[in-house]
Amino acid sequence: MKTTTPLLTPYKMGQFDLLHRVVLAPLTRQRAYGGVPQPHAAVYYAQRGSPGGFLISEGTRIAAGSPAAAARQEQESSSSFKDVPGIWAQEHVEAWRPVVDAVHAKGAVFFCQLWHVADDVVRQRQQQVSPQMSFDGRREELSSLRRVAAEDASGVVDWFRRAARNAIDAGFDGVEILGANGYFVDDEGQGANGLERRSRFALEVVEAVVREVGGHRVGVRLDQFAATPDEHALALHVVSWLSDRGVLYCHMIEPRVDERRRVSRRLLSFREAFGGTFMPAAGTGGRRATQRPGCGTPTWWHTGGSSWRTRTCRGEPLNECDHYSSQRQQDQSKTIY
């Protein structure tokens, strides 16, 4: 009797007919020189596309770094996130189009991850973090981060809205808003009113993007914040709100997977609160990931690529993770990693 691999079964995600549930996760590569996607990006993403597959782009900046630079549609230098692609200017829209076309030619669905790079907002602050060395030996000067100031919030919300429209104009099928890793919800507050206050900025961003391009084209990536009751309640509040607004999917980071449960205990409440597609970015891989059981509709997802899917199905070993090459600029690294 032939065994069905849950990850390789078809799934209808809103208007998108997917042939499997292996998703290319957003992977920062810092190879868009000057913030503009390069021709090698079309090769890189097309290699990872497959018929009925789903790809999420690397984090893509929504603005130039400061209100003044954004108004000029120029990119200010940012040492900690150099050469990540942008989507705020027409130049970016034009550069992304052949990349998106290459992915669509493979029959895959392609979403653009929208990223507000907090480092850009604070670049002019005097306080500095100790210099760091990159994987390829470059010395990087980093600025300390801060929350989005109240007077800047409305402008950042509009940056997200305009970036979403630009992504659709570039041909992307939709957008994913990066809300994980401290990029979204970090205002102080406690209790019911505190939840509203702490999540206000995040929800205003999502609301603006949904109004601009439609909830059927919007996903949100979140994490579980801290492992405390207050932080859990905050995450659950945000996930429930997203479900009520018709957001297409919730992409939630799960550092570890409990193989004995249909849904990890740590994500079960979020899965139950979200009515759309719930996509765990799970800390598992290889053959064990293909054996994960379903949990109703939607079921398990795994963030990988077409090579992962093919090799796992054949029982072939995966490449060892090469952190040194993942963000290098050599020609062979631009498409392999």
Closest to 113 in 3D by CA, of 91, 96, 90, 95: 96
Rounded to whole angstroms, the Cα distance separating 293 from 299 reads 8
Judge whether 209 and 157 are in contact, CB under 8 Å: no
- Extract the tokens encoding 277: 């597609």
Residue 195 backbone dihedrals phi, psi, to 5 degrees:
-60, -45
Residue 16 backbone dihedrals phi, psi, to 5 degrees:
-105, 125
Q: How many residues does the chain have?
A: 337
E-only strand ranges, 47-107: 54-61
Collapsing DSSP to helix, strand or coil, 264 comes out as coil
Rounded to whole angstroms, the Cα distance separating 212 from 164 reads 7
How many Cα neighbours within 13 Å face the side chain of 41? 25
Is the bond preceding residue 298 a cis peptide, omega within 30 degrees? Answer: yes
- Extract the tokens encoding 180: 């994980």
Closest to 174 in 3D by CA, of 85, 274, 49, 56: 56
Judge whether 64 and 76 are in contact, CB under 8 Å: yes
The H-or-E segment that residue 305 falls in is none
Annotated catalytic residues are 183
Judge whether 114 and 167 are in contact, CB under 8 Å: yes
Pairing of strands 174-178, 218-222: parallel
Bridge partners of 86, per DSSP, are: 61
191-213 and 229-244 helices, crossing angle to 10°: 30
